[in-house]
Amino acid sequence: MTTQVIVLNGGSSSGKSGIVRCLQAVLPDPWLAAAIDSLVDAMPASLRSTDAGIEFAADGGVHVGAEFLRLEAAWKEGVAAMARAGAGVIVDDVFLGGPESQERWRKALGGLDVLWVGVRCETAVAEGRGVARGDRAPGMAASQAEVVHRGVVYDVEVDTTHAESLDCARIIAAHVKGPTSRTRPRPAVSDPA
């Protein structure tokens, strides 16, 4: 079986995005990136300030509502469809619901070969990165650092506290199964004559 999807789970500012970029550079074939932050950015602004959507509390807490979960489920099905169509996909997510979040992914990715990756980082380091980014509420990294991993089962884990993204990507890439070229469906070709 060939790995079709790589799911990275870790708290805010744990280094997932850097690892995704490095994985895209070290894996022999092109892989698409699908980040939860992109989903949030794609949602209307009205869903970023209501209990039906996603709310970012001043203390760094994140709360999601029913409308967010509905759109997130559709996004996950879209990610799975891309993988089923032959694209390798690297998911960058934050399992706020721990094992329940992983189970929702398992359901969407049913039948696909998935590599589950835990991305850890010491809280103080992640908090410092969040401050440096300037787009994260103080306390977000601390509130997510451990809770996103509780009860989640991984194939491989990396820790970015003292390791560079490229080193972590190489560790993950060593666990990717399959041939050096992905099997992609061939497009239908019509005869113009």
Residue of 37, 113, 159, 167 marked active site:
37
Distance CA 60, CA 83 (A): 33
Identify any residues that bridge with 8 across adjacent strands, giving them in sequence order: 92, 117
Distance CA 68, CA 75 (A): 10
The angle that helices 66-84 and 99-108 make with each other, rounded to 10 degrees, is 40
Closest to 107 (Cα-Cα) out of 86, 76, 84, 131: 76
* φ, ψ at 157 (rounded to 5°): -130, 145
Task: Identify the helix (H) or strand (E) that includes residue 80.
Answer: helix 66-84
37: annotated active-site residue? yes
Amino acid (1-letter code) at residue 69: L
- Catalytic residue ranges: 37
